[in-house]
């Protein structure tokens, strides 16, 4: 089975399907979404929204709507309104280019209201939207859906570890060195260790902020992997659980299950993990 590999959204992508001829358009799709949604490009629709405060854009409205729904579903543990806070902490450029940031005044938390009416988004109050916590999972799902709609049978789409499959079993490596056979569904892993840096005083930071404090989450977990029906759900839940581990018992009704690693080491599964990992 042939595959395609490329770099977009700040990470490595890999996809395969049968028939392989359907893969030709995948890189173009993801690159276009990256250009449109990145907060690191001054010409992106997202950057325009954050500057101009009002924008009408169907694609951006879809993502903002999904992010706001995810905030509600996780009782605020996932929050797309912390973009300015992330930037002030030093994550104001593609992660590979982060250097030790200068000391900055941190903007307030919870002061940004987002109003969505059809394709029109309006930002009220200080702050910026950041879609980094959902855009990759969303893009994985969109690629998967388009390939399936085009007639693909066996499909695997992997965007930097956020993946969705059908027609398996597909052997998927796990962070603890093992593997699972994933047949139909999605898997996402989030970690406080992979996108980490130090501030101007040398204190460690990471990209998963606790909306309650506006600072890197200190929930006691180092890594979370979530299996769920869609990549966007797995992506959101993995990040939300790192921020608020108390969400773990809520996975069952969402047809999701998780494997987590504590900051001090040691793995365990959520109580709703249906089969051994």
Give domain status of residue 163, yes or no. Answer: yes
Spatial distance between the Cα atoms of 186 and 166, rounded to a whole number of angstroms: 9
Give domain status of residue 238, yes or no. Answer: yes
Judged on CB neighbours under 10 Å (0-12, 13-18, 19+), 74 is buried
Measuring CA to CA, which residue among 81, 57, 198 is closest to residue 133? 81
Give domain status of residue 277, yes or no. Answer: no
Number of domains in the chain: 1
Give domain status of residue 274, yes or no. Answer: no
Give domain status of residue 55, yes or no. Answer: yes
What pLDDT, on the 0 to 100 scale, is given for residue 99? 63
Cα distances from 102 to residues 23, 88, 91, 107, in angstroms, run 43, 9, 11, 15
Spatial distance between the Cα atoms of 196 and 78, rounded to a whole number of angstroms: 18
| Residue 67: HSE in the Cβ half-sphere, 13 Å Cα cutoff | 24
| Residue 48: HSE in the Cβ half-sphere, 13 Å Cα cutoff | 14
What pLDDT, on the 0 to 100 scale, is given for residue 267? 76
Give domain status of residue 93, yes or no. Answer: yes
Residues in the chain: 277
- The residue segments making up the domain with residue 180 are 3-269
Number of neighbours of residue 92 by Cβ within 10 angstroms: 16
Per-residue pLDDT of the chain (277 residues; tens, 9 = 90+): 689 999 999 899 999 999 999 999 999 999 999 999 999 899 999 999 999 999 999 999 999 999 999 999 999 999 999 999 988 887 766 666 666 565 567 788 888 999 999 999 999 999 999 998 999 999 999 999 999 999 998 999 999 999 999 997 898 877 667 677 888 999 999 988 777 767 766 677 777 889 999 888 887 888 999 999 999 999 999 999 999 999 998 898 999 999 898 887 777 776 544 443 3
Those residues whose C-beta lies under 8 Å from the C-beta of residue 72, and which sit 6 or more positions away, are none
Cα distances from 14 to residues 4, 140, 144, 233, 235, in angstroms, run 6, 10, 12, 20, 17
Please identify which residue in the block is written with the tokens 């001829």.
21
CATH at 41: 3.10.520.10
Give domain status of residue 75, yes or no. Answer: yes
What pLDDT, on the 0 to 100 scale, is given for residue 264? 79
Q: What is the pTM of this model?
A: 0.91
| CB 136, CB 81: distance < 8 Å | no
| Torsion angle of the four alpha carbons 25, 227, 256, 184, in this order, in degrees rounded to the nearest 10 | 60
Give domain status of residue 76, yes or no. Answer: yes
């Amino acid at each position: 089975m042939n595959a395609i590999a490329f770099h977009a959204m700040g990470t490595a992508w890999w996809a395969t399907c049968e028939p392989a001829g359907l893969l030709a358009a995948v890189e173009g799709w993801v690159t276009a979404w990256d250009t449109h949604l990145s907060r690191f490009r001054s010409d992106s629709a997202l950057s325009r929204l954050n500057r101009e405060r009002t924008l009408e854009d169907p694609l951006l409205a879809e993502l903002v709507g999904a992010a706001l729904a995810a905030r509600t579903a996780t009782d605020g543990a996932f929050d797309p309104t912390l973009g300015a806070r992330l930037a002030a902490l030093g994550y104001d450029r593609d992660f590979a280019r982060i250097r030790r940031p200068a000391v900055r005044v941190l903007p307030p938390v919870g002061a940004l209201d987002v109003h969505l009416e059809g394709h029109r988004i309006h930002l009220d109050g200080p702050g910026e939207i950041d879609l980094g916590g959902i855009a990759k999972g969303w893009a994985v799902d969109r690629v998967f859906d388009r390939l399936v709609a085009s007639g693909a049978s066996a499909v695997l789409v992997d965007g930097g570890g956020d993946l969705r499959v059908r027609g398996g079993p597909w052997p998927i490596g796990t962070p603890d060195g093992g593997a699972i056979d994933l047949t139909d569904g999605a898997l996402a892993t989030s970690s406080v260790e992979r996108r980490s840096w130090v501030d101007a005083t040398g204190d460690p930071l990471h990209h998963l902020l606790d909306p309650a404090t506006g600072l890197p989450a200190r929930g006691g977990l180092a890594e979370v992997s979530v299996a769920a029906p869609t990549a966007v759900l797995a992506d959101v839940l993995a990040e939300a659980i790192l921020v608020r581990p108390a969400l773990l018992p809520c996975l069952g009704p969402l047809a999701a299950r998780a494997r987590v690693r504590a900051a001090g080491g040691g793995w365990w599964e959520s109580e709703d993990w249906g089969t051994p990992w």
